[in-house]
Amino acid sequence: MVQLTPEFGPCADIADELMAFCRDHLAHHKCPRSIDFEPELPRLPTGKLYKASLRERYWKGHTSRIL
């Protein structure tokens, strides 16, 4: 999931650029399979990402999870 700054809107060009960056700088098995744009990511009152909420979106309906 990616939260863009207000001056950028989600589009295929940005997703392609992010994927190309990941392929150039990360190992193949660490590159994301897809990129989802969110207007705002869930955060705790301290400003940190609320990772449990993010995981739930992807693991809903599966019997096993990666924690």
pLDDT of 9-59, one tens digit each?
999 999 999 999 999 999 999 999 999 999 999 999 999 999 988 888 888
Query: Could you give the 3-state DSSP secondary structure of residue 20?
Result: helix
- The pTM for the full model equals 0.74
Domain locations in the chain as residue ranges = 12-59
Whole-Å CA distances, 48 to 19, 43, 63, 65: 24, 5, 27, 22
Q: Decide if domain 12-59 falls under CATH 3.40.50.2300.
A: no
CB 30 within 8 A of CB 23: no
